[in-house]
Structure formats: C-alpha cells, structure tokens
C-alpha cells in the first residue's frame, strides 16, 4: 500500500500564481515528485478578503485537489496558512495538510541572534497575527515587528523587482524595520522575487527567511518518515481558475521554467456543503 501511495501526487494551492515559488522549491528538493498545482486566479487576491470568504475558498481549493488523490496538500498561500490552516485540518482529517507559516517561523527562530524578528505579508496575513503568535509562543522574550506590504504583489507580477520604483516601494514599507531586526520572514509567495532588492535595502546583517524553501524541507522530511517518496515521477500540472493574457510570462517568472501542462478549471460546487 505504501508503494502505491508514494506514487500519488503532491497537491499545492494558492490564490494565484505566486505559489509557484513554493512549487519551485519543492521541485528542487524533490525533483521526482508529481505535483498538481491549483491557482485560484479568478478570485485572487485572498489577502484582502474576510476570514469567512478565505475559509470558503480554501475548502473549495482542497476539494479540487482531492479529486487527484493527492498524498498531501501544501497551502502555498500565506493568507490561507495564517487564517484557515487549523480549520482545514479539522475539516479534512484524512489528508495531511501543511501551511507555510510554521516552517518560516522555525527558521527565523534558528537564525535570529538578537531576538528581533520582522514579518511582512498581505493585509490579511498580518492582521491574523499568525506569525507573531507562533513566534511568541516559542519564545516569549522576542520582539516581533509586522508590516503589511500589499504593493509588493503587483510589483512582482509586473516584473518590477529592481530599480527605482521597486526600491521606493520597499523603502516606503520597510524603513521603520531597518536597524531594528536581524531576521525578516517573507510572508507572501510573491516576495521572494523581490528578495535581492529587499536584502539590498535591509542590509547584510538581516537574514531573509523564505518559507518556500523551508516548507520544501518539511515536505521531504514527512515523505521520508512515512515512506512516501516517489522516485519515478516529476510531472507538474498547473490548474488555473482564470487564464489572464500574460499567464505564461507570470508562470515562467514565478516557477523559473516553462511548462506545457496548463489547464483552466472551475471550482463551482467543490465546497461540498461544508459549514463555515
């Protein structure tokens, strides 16, 4: 049975194509795993939605991936990981579900020397307080600085990741954090595309923590522990609820490679009547 289950794909979902930065890291770490990716591009962004709506959308995302008999699900969306992870685990106890908050928090705790940690993300992610709670639960005497940076998302999607415009926006959001922290959690899947510019502004004394890198390690550890590693796969299929005109460019930007298996899908009815 374990041999059969190992060949089942990994499911990954996000509100858009930003979660492909997570897929990129999983593929680096686990190149022979099949991956089914869902980007809810018709309803992006989740970061400005209410908690109830985020949970509703997340349930529909999970229901869609379950149709592909995935062996685990990675919530590549920081907003859903912050707002709805426990809710999804309770709703779908039959499938292992991993969010990107805890792996990033653990790495920030490992690398900080001063105990001063920054967290940036969408409005909903920062409002949820998920990173801050997890950090302070682990160590009470930390100082945690949080900042929503909503304009980082369009910058990443437009490919404006360096230069004056990017630097001005980064300065606008992060000037209050500069000089106060030595670790910064990039709490949105889009933000790694701005990593170089953010690092340039914050300085060499600040370690940037990319949760995408850390969740890939977490997934590998889980698969190894449960004898679920696949050694014969490597296919990636991308499913989008809307296909914007520049989708190929976006996918290549976030994933770092070209792909052929791209499908437009509907999520209507996937909620299955689950009470929110």
Q: Is residue 269 part of a domain?
A: no
- 134-192 per-position pLDDT tens digit: 999 999 999 999 999 999 999 998 999 999 999 999 999 999 999 999 999 999 999 99
∠ Cα 52 54 56 (to 5°)? 70
DSSP codes of every residue in 37-91: EEE-TTS--STTS-HHHHHHHHHHHHHHHHTTT-SEEEE--HHHHHHHHHHHHHH
Q: Residue 163: give its domain's CATH number.
A: 3.40.50.1860
Question: What's the pLDDT score for residue 276?
Answer: 33
- When pLDDT is cut at 50, 70 and 90, the band that residue 245 belongs to is confident
Token look-up 């967290």 returns 119
Is pLDDT above 70 for 96?
yes
Binding residues for substrate: 14-15, 46-47, 78-79, 189-190
Tokens at 125, concatenated: 């992610």
What pLDDT is attached to residue 270? 56
Count of domains for the chain: 2
Q: Identify whether 276 is part of a domain.
A: no
Domain presence at residue 273: no
pLDDT the model gives residue 3: 63
In-domain check, residue 274: no
From CA 218, how far away is CA 259, in angstroms rounded? 25
The pLDDT mean for the chain works out to 92
Do 139 and 178 belong to one domain? yes
- Can you tell me the mean pLDDT for 116-138? 94
Per the annotation, the verdict on 270 as an active-site residue is: no
What is the share, in percent, of the chain residues with pLDDT greater than 70?
96
Give residue 227's domain range.
2-100+213-264
Residue 2: per-residue pLDDT:
55
CA angle, corner 63, sides to 61 and 65, nearest 5? 70
Active site annotation includes 188 = yes
Global pTM reads: 0.90
Cβ atoms of residues 48 and 127 within 8 Å? no
The catalytic position among 23, 73, 77, 270 is 77
Is 195 found in the same domain as 110?
yes
Q: How confident is the model at residue 269 (pLDDT cuts 50, 70, 90)?
A: low
Q: Exactly one of 44, 84, 130, 188 is catalytic; which is it?
A: 188
Annotated binding site: 14-15, 46-47, 78-79, 189-190
Average pLDDT over residues 214-229: 97
**Domain membership flag for residue 18:** yes
């Amino acid at each position: 049975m374990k041999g059969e289950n190992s060949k089942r794909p990994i499911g990954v979902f996000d509100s858009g194509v930003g979660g492909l930065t997570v897929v990129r890291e999983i593929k680096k770490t686990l190149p022979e795993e099949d991956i089914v990716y869902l980007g809810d591009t018709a309803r992006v962004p989740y970061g400005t939605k209410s908690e109830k709506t985020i949970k509703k959308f997340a349930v529909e995302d999970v229901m869609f991936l379950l149709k592909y008999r995935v062996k685990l699900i990675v919530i590549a969306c920081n907003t859903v990981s912050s707002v709805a992870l426990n809710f999804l685990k309770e709703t779908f106890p039959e499938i292992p579900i991993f969010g990107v908050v805890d792996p990033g928090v653990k790495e920030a705790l490992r690398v900080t020397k001063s105990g001063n940690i920054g967290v940036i993300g969408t409005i909903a992610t920062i409002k949820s307080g998920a990173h801050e709670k997890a950090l302070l639960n682990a160590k009470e005497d930390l100082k945690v600085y949080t900042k929503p940076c909503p304009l980082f998302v369009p910058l990443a999607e437009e490919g404006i990741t360096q230069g004056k415009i990017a630097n001005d926006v980064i300065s606008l959001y992060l000037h209050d954090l500069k000089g106060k922290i030595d670790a910064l959690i990039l709490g949105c899947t889009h933000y790694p595309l701005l990593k170089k510019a953010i690092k340039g502004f914050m300085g060499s004394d600040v370690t940037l923590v990319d949760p995408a890198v850390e969740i890939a390690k977490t997934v590998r550890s889980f698969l190894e522990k449960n004898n679920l590693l696949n050694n014969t796969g490597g296919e990636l299929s991308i499913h989008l609820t809307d296909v914007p005109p520049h989708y190929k460019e976006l996918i290549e930007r976030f994933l770092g490679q070209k792909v052929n298996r791209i499908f437009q899908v509907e999520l209507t009815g996937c909620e299955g009547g689950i009470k929110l």
